[in-house]
Amino acid sequence: MSAYRCGLVAVIGRPNVGKSTLINAVMGRKVSIVTAKPQTTRHRILAVHTDPNAQIIFVDTPGIHRKAAKAMNKLMNRTATNALADADVVLFVIDATHWTPEDDDVLKRLKEARAPIVAVLNKVDKVHPKEHLLDTIGLMAARHDFAEIIPVSALKQDNLDHLMDLLPPFLPESPPLFPEDMYTDRSKEFHAAEVIREKLTLMLHQELPYGLTVQVERFLEEESGITINAIIWVERDSQKGIVVGKNGGVLKKVGRAARLELKEQLQRSVHLELWVKVKSNWADNMTDLMNLGYEAP
């Protein structure tokens, strides 16, 4: 019988290539929030997949992006880069339909990593005609000596079994680092804040989602259900009006969507109360970022 293996798999790529969708798909549950907007993932989130032969610890990271103007963006880039230092293997996720200068930037960083790199060509369901996929694989092979190049569709859950079979040999022989029933290192409070932020991001179609964050002040579990009180922080008064909406309409819709999802996930009745407050320039203030739960560099 082969030895048990356990290790860290850093999932790296530019924004919006489907890193969180990929992790949720292989986990069979929602660990990270997902929207079509870049930079939805802001934190390092562990997703722990345990089976009889291996414990694969995926590290979901923010997308590495060029324009890191604010402190939050710099922090996100650093979070993604730091994940490389601890990784036993790196999944470099790209959008199989096109290669961008930002992909080039990410690959340059990855070449400095000590861990082997597996190129994951995501969104292959959007590649037409299918013969183009062979050209894409050939181009990837010319860019770097990858340990493997594997085409997948996280959305359609295509070829994910092959990806999961591929990973354990890259991991060191080790007992599991986490209990068998644990699937993430993040708390229920953190997840509740992320679900609220996801609903806000989906409903607000301007640049506003990048200027807001969510902080759970109270998460009370009782026999009758769960009470969650959360603050939505924005940077300006004008943003507050947009988030609240006419007669509170936007906030009510966000609250209802978040409450229904949390109720389904937690399998409990949920009472959710939301407030919108202004904290000027929080996204460019390192002290504010730390107070709002962003990891120190």
The CATH code of the domain that includes 42 is 3.40.50.300
Do 92 and 234 lie in one domain? The reply is: no
Dump pLDDT digits (tens) for 27-64. Answer: 999 999 888 887 788 888 999 999 999 999 999 988 88
**Do the domain assignments include residue 179?**
no
Do 104 and 244 lie in one domain? The reply is: no
Is the pLDDT reported for residue 195 higher than 70? yes
Do 35 and 138 lie in one domain? The reply is: yes
* Among candidate residues 109, 140, 170, the one where a domain is terminated: 170
Give the total number of structural domains in the chain. Answer: 2
* Per-residue confidence band for 1, with pLDDT thresholds at 50, 70 and 90: low
Do 212 and 87 lie in one domain? The reply is: no
**Do the domain assignments include residue 199?**
yes
Q: How far is CA 159 from CA 96, 122, 128, 242, in A?
A: 14, 10, 17, 42
**Do the domain assignments include residue 197?**
yes
Dump pLDDT digits (tens) for 115-139. Answer: 999 999 999 999 998 889 999 999 9
| Whole-number Å distance between alpha carbons of 216 and 232 | 9
Q: What is the pTM of this model?
A: 0.92
Which secondary structure element, helix H or strand E, spans residue 1, and what is its range? none
- Check if the beta carbon of residue 82 is closer than 8 Å to that of residue 4: no
Do 24 and 155 lie in one domain? The reply is: yes
Domain residue limits at 272: 188-291
Do 121 and 204 lie in one domain? The reply is: no
- Check if the beta carbon of residue 11 is closer than 8 Å to that of residue 60: yes
pLDDT of residue 297: 57
**Do the domain assignments include residue 177?**
no
Nearest to 79 by CA among 57, 63, 95, 97: 63
| Whole-number Å distance between alpha carbons of 296 and 79 | 9
| Beta sheet of 117-122, edge-to-edge order | 45-50, 54-60, 5-12, 89-95, 117-122, 148-151
Do 277 and 158 lie in one domain? The reply is: no
